Amino acid sequence: MSAAQESTRDPQLLDRLRDALGPDAQLVSVRRADARAVRGVAVCSGRILSFVLEAEHNRLRTQPLFELLQHGHARGQVQG
């Protein structure tokens, strides 16, 4: 099932991701391996993340896969 179909069929999944990652989060792929978890890939604010949503505890775990940095900015530094 495509991510667009999944977000239409199960809007709570997209809502849960947006609660955790911010309002710009979008689903890229979704896979229901079994009844216990939903796995997939999401993007938000220049980041690509894998996620696992565990059904029993409604716990969302994310793992960064890729993060875009602005040219000339290091993470954690403030430009003055």
CA distances from 36 to 48, 52, 54, 66, 67 (A): 23, 10, 6, 26, 28
Q: What is the pLDDT of residue 74?
A: 53
> In the chain, what are the domain boundaries?
3-67
State pLDDT tens for residues 21-80.
Answer: 999 999 999 998 788 999 999 999 889 999 999 988 889 999 999 988 765 555 555 544
For the entire predicted model, the pTM comes to: 0.72
pLDDT tier at 10, thresholds 50, 70, 90 = confident
Q: What's the confidence (pLDDT) of residue 69? A: 74
Q: What string of DSSP letters covers 9-75?
A: H-HHHHHHHHHHH-TT-EEEEEEEEETTEEEEEEEETTEEEEEEEETTTTEEEEEEEEE---TT--T
pLDDT of residue 17: 92
Sign of torsion over alpha carbons 11, 34, 40, 3: negative
